[in-house]
Structures are given as structure tokens and as C-alpha cells.
Amino acid sequence: MEKLGRFQACALVVLLAVGCGAADVGSALDAVTNEDAEPEAEPGTSSDYPEAVVSALAVLANQLDRSVESLTIETYEETLWPDACLGLAEKDEMCAQVIVNGWRIDVRADDGAWELHTDAIGEQVRWRPAGS
């Protein structure tokens, strides 16, 4: 009976993933079956953060021409952005008026602080100096 329950759970995950347009059904199945589970990360490593947060930090480091290690994540939180520009439209930029799931991340270094806005997966990243 346990195998039947596991099969039903896997089938449900596959149907939901396909229905939602997920590209990687295998990772969704791994989450249910707990196969290929990664060991827990050591505290203080980038693995402690959601993938989108780590991706945004790498984008900022690259654009500022510095190492990721020189930046410190102060806070991060999931949020809903009011537009496709993640709430940080440039002057005269037109942004689609859609709600976008994402992250707000506060980052600090010795010489400054920044506020990063990203979409849910960290593919789109925008940033500005903190407090501006």
C-alpha cells in the first residue's frame, strides 16, 4: 500500500508540473521521492539562501566588478512586484503592469549598500543604491 501511495504522489507531482509548464519534471519528482538529496549546507555558505538570492548577488558582484565574497546579504524576503520592471523602472521606461513574484534583498559591503529586486527564479535582477 505504501508503494501505491508513493506512486500516486509522484503521478500527482508530474501532472501538476506539466500542467504548470515546469521544464524539469525530474527535479519535482526528486523532491517527492527524496532521491539525490543534497547534504545540508554549512552555515554561512551561499547554499543557505534561495537560488534566486544567490543569483542576484552574483549579478551585483559582476556589475560592480568585485567578488561575491566581498558582499554580505543583510536581509532578504519574498515579495510581489507591481510591474515587470520589479518596481525599479528607469526614467521613461515602459513596464508591463503585471504582478511579479520575486525577492527583495539588502546587500552591504565596506564601501556601500544596495537594494536588489529579482524575479522568483533570479533570472531578472535590478538594483539601486540603498536608500535611494
Quick one: CA dihedral 100, 105, 106, 111, positive or negative? Answer: negative
| Residue pLDDT, tens place only, 67-120 | 999 999 999 999 999 999 999 999 999 999 999 999 999 999 999 999 999 999
pLDDT for the residue 22: 42
Q: With contact defined as beta carbons under 8 Å apart, do 125 and 55 qualify?
A: yes
Residue ranges per structural domain of the chain: 2-33, 48-129
| Residue pLDDT, tens place only, 5-47 | 554 554 554 454 445 444 443 444 444 444 444 444 344 455 6
